[in-house]
Amino acid sequence: MPRSVPPTAPAAARPGSRTAPWLVLVAVLVCIGLQFGGDLTASALALLVWLLVLALVDRRALRKLWLPRFWLFSLLLALVSGFLLGGNLSKAHGLTLSRVGLDAGLLMIVRGAFLLSLAAHLSAKVKSARFQRLLARLGFSGFGAALATAFALLPELSHTLQVRAGVWQAEAPTWRGRLRHFPTLAVQLLVETAVLAEQCARMGSNPLYAAELLVFIEGPPQSGKTRCLLALVAALKAAGHSVGGIAQPAVHQSDERVGYRLLDVATGETTAFAERVNPSAPAAAGRRYQFEPAAFTRARDLLQRAVLEHPIVCVDELGRLEARGQGHLPGLQQALLQTQPRVLLATVRADAAPALMLLLGRPTVTLAPTADAAELGELLTLIAQVVTRLSAPKGDAHARVASEEWR
Amino acid sequence: MPRAPASLHTKSFDRERFWAYAAAFGSLWGTLEVTLGAFLHTLRLPLTGAFLAAMGAALLVAMRQFYPARGSSLAVGVIAALLKSLSPGGVILGPMIGIISEAFLVELALVVAPRALLSAFVAGGLCVLWSVFQKVLTQTVLYGGTILDLYLAALKRVDQLLGSENAGAWLLVVCIGVLTLLGGSLTLVGRHLGRKAAVELRQQALPQGSTHA
C-alpha cells in the first residue's frame, strides 16, 4: 500500500499547472535576452510580451505593479538623466535636455518595470507549495521544525512586545524617562526570548509533529473538502471507530452559500458559526462572513475534548487565517499540547498548505477532495491499522514496532 | 556558571537548543521587522532600512553574548527571512535577501571572537553599509549601469555647486562613515544589553555556553 495518496484534483481546479511553467520559463528567457540588448525598442517589446504573459498566467503579479511611489521615482530618474547625462542638448520650455539622456532614462524605466514584474511573479513562486515541498524534500528537518516553532511563537512574541511597550510608556511618560528605562525593557525581552528558546529545546522543537497519522484533505475553496471529510467520518463511525473534533458544513439558501455551522463530529450537534454579511467583498479580504462571537472558543473546547476522548480527531477549514497563526490554530495547538491523537484528519486549503505543513508537520497522506472510492477505502484501511495496532497494550513490542513504521 | 543537568548535554539536545534559539530569536527579529519596521516605514523617515539593519545586527550580537554557538546568527537570519516570506505582501525577495545578507555579515564578523567589542562594532558597521550598498545594487540591477552614471554625474554637479574638486566624493565618504559609526554604536549597545541579559540568565540558572556548532 502506498504511504501517500497523491492529490488528484481535476485539471480545472489548477489551471495550467503542468504546461504553463515551461511556457513561462521560455517567455522569461526570451524577454531577458531582448531586455539586455540595450536597445529601447527591443526592451519595450520584451516588457510588452512579458506583461501579456503575466496577464494570461499571473494577474496577481500584475496587480502588485501598482506602486505609485516607485513609478514617480522612476519618472523623476528619467527626467534627471535627461538633464545630467549625454550630449546633443536641446531646449524645451526653457530647460536644457539631452535626447540621449532621456532615452537612457526611458530604458531604465522599461528595464525596471520588467524586473519588478519578474520579481513579483517569482515572489509568489517562493511562497508556492512546490517550493516549500522542495525545501522539505531536501531534508531540512531541524530547520523546518524551527521555522514552524518560530511561526507559532510569532503571536506570543508580538503580544509580549505590546505588553512590554505598554508598561514602558506607562512607567515613563516622558521621552527622557523612556530612554532611561529602555535598557531594562530590552534586557527583559532578551531574557524572556532566551527562556522561551530553552523551553522549546526541552520540549523538542515542535511538539505538534507527534500525531501518528496526519491526513490532509487538500484542495481549493469549494472543492468538496468538508463533504469528503464528512464521508470519511461516516465511514469510520460505521466501522465502529470513535471519532471526535469539528467540521464546518456550509449552509445554503436557494443554491447560495449563506453561512457555516459548527458541527461536533462526535455527537452530531451543530451551532451557528459564521453568517455571510457582505457577499460582494473579496474572499481573500476575509470580510465576507461575520463569525459568531463564541464560535472559536466553542471550537477550541470541542477540540480539547476530542483529543482526550477519541483516537481519531478531525478539524475542518484550515486556511489562510490558520496559516497566520489565527482562527482554529491556537485552539488546535492547545489541544495537541495536552495529548496527541493517533489520527488527525484536517481539511486544508491548497494555498495555505505549505505554511500549515510547517506548523503541523508533513502529512502522512494527502488526499484530494475528489478522491475515488478505492483511494478512500485504502485510507480507511490505513487508519484502521494505525488505530488497532496502537490500541495494543503498552508492553506489546510488536505494536510499538508497528507504530514506529508509520513515522 | 550554572550548567544544565548532564543528561541534557547530549548532541541531540544541543541540536534542539540550536534550532530553538534560531526559532525564538528569528521570531523576535521577524516581529520587530513587522511592528517597528512598519511603524518607521509609515512615518516615511529617511534611512529606515539602515536603522532596521543595525537593529537586526544588535539583536544578533546581543544573542551571541549568552548563546555563542557558531552559525546561530545565520540560522536566526534565515528563519527571520522566511517568516518575512510567509507574511502577506508584495515583492518580498529584496527584504529576504537583505535579512539573510545581514545575518551572514554578522556571522562573519563574529566568527573569531563572538563576544569581543571590536567584532560587535564591525558587525553593526558592515550591516549598515550593506543596507546602503543593497539599495544601490538593487537599483543597478533594476535600472542597469546607467543609474551609476547618473549618481556620478550628480556627484560632479555637487562638485560644481560647492566649487571644489572631489567635494561630492568626500561628502559621500563622510556620510558613509557617519552611518557606519552609528551602526557600530547601536550594535555595541546590543552587546552591552546582551551581556546584562547573560548575567540575568545566569542568575536564573539557565544552561548556557553551548558552542557545539
**Is B116:B135 a contact under the CB 8 Å cutoff?**
no
C-alpha dihedral (B154, B156, B162, B167), degrees to nearest 10 = 110
A380: cell is: 480507511
- Give how far Cα A284 sits from Cα of A294, A352, A361, B83, Å: 23, 12, 25, 20
Looking at the DSSP assignment, which residues form a beta bridge with residue A274?
A260, A291
A122 touches chain B (CB under 8 A): yes
Portion of chain B with pLDDT greater than 70, in percent: 82
Cβ contact, residue pair B21, A85, below 8 Å? no
Of A5-9, A73-77, B84-88, minimum mean pLDDT range: A5-9
Nearest CA-CA distance, residue A207 and chain B, Å:
12
Predicted pLDDT at A69 = 73
ipTM of the complex in this document: 0.83
A89 touches chain B (CB under 8 A): no
Residue of B nearest to A354 (CA): B86
Which pLDDT band holds residue A228 (cuts at 50, 70, 90)? very high
pLDDT tens across B168-177, in order? 888 888 988 9
B201 touches chain A (CB under 8 A): yes
Nearest to B19 among A111, A146, A157 (CB): A146
Predicted pLDDT at B178 = 92
Portion of chain A with pLDDT greater than 90, in percent: 11
Nearest to B91 among A123, A197, A201 (CB): A123
Which pLDDT band holds residue A83 (cuts at 50, 70, 90)? confident
The superfamily (CATH) of domain A207-405 is P-loop containing nucleotide triphosphate hydrolases (3.40.50.300)
Position B208 in a domain: no
Of A159-173, A258-272, A359-373, B122-136, minimum mean pLDDT range: A159-173
Please give the DSSP secondary-structure letter assigned to residue A19.
T
Could you say which residues from 308 to 367 on chain A have a Cβ atom under 8 Å away from some Cβ of chain B? 323-324, 355
- Residue range A328-350: mean pLDDT, rounded: 81
Nearest to A190 among B75, B149, B194 (CB): B194
- Give how far Cα A21 sits from Cα of A60, A312, B39, Å: 16, 39, 38
Chain A contact probe: residue of B143, B189, B210 with most A CBs at under 10 A: B143
A142 touches chain B (CB under 8 A): yes
Neighbours of B137 (CB within 10 A): 13
Predicted pLDDT at A11 = 34
- Is residue B123's pLDDT more than 90? yes
- Residue range A18-40: mean pLDDT, rounded: 75
Position B76 in a domain: yes
Domain spans in chain A, listed from the N-terminal domain onward: 11-127, 134-203, 207-405
- Residue range A178-203: mean pLDDT, rounded: 81
Position B162 in a domain: yes
Neighbours of A151 (CB within 10 A): 25
Diameter of chain A by CA atoms? 94
Amino acid identity of residue A17, one-letter, is S
How many A×B Cβ pairs under 8 Å?
175
Predicted pLDDT at A372 = 84
- Is residue A347's pLDDT more than 90? yes
- Is residue B109's pLDDT more than 90? yes
Write out chain B residues lying below 8 Å of A143, CB-based. Answer: 19, 75, 78
Chain B contact probe: residue of A154, A156, A162, A164 with most B CBs at under 10 A: A154
- Residue range B149-160: mean pLDDT, rounded: 85
Cβ contact, residue pair B204, A67, below 8 Å? no
Phi, psi (rounded to 5 degrees) for A250: -80, 150
Predicted pLDDT at A247 = 94
What range does the domain containing B43 cover? 6-203
The residue ranking higher by pLDDT, A361 or B108, is: B108
Which pLDDT band holds residue A219 (cuts at 50, 70, 90)? confident
pLDDT tens across B49-97, in order? 888 899 999 999 999 999 989 899 999 998 888 777 655 444 566 778 8
Position B34 in a domain: yes
Predicted pLDDT at A135 = 58
Predicted pLDDT at A394 = 40
**Is A223:A250 a contact under the CB 8 Å cutoff?**
no
- Is residue A361's pLDDT more than 80? no
Distance separating alpha carbons of residues A220 and A370, to the nearest angstrom = 11
Nearest CA-CA distance, residue A66 and chain B, Å:
10
Cβ contact, residue pair B24, A154, below 8 Å? no
Please give the DSSP secondary-structure letter assigned to residue B174.
H
Nearest to B28 among A104, A116, A193 (CB): A193
Across chain A, what does the average pLDDT equal? 74
Nearest to A164 by CA among B48, B43, B23, B31: B31
Residue of B nearest to A135 (CA): B82
Position B1 in a domain: no
What's the domain count of chain B?
1
A204 touches chain B (CB under 8 A): yes
Predicted pLDDT at B113 = 86
Most confident residue range from A61-65, A330-334, B23-27: B23-27
Could you say which residues from 61 to 80 on chain A have a Cβ atom under 8 Å away from some Cβ of chain B? 64, 67, 74, 77, 80
Residue of B nearest to A81 (CA): B150
Distance separating alpha carbons of residues A105 and A89, to the nearest angstrom = 15
- Residue range A28-50: mean pLDDT, rounded: 81
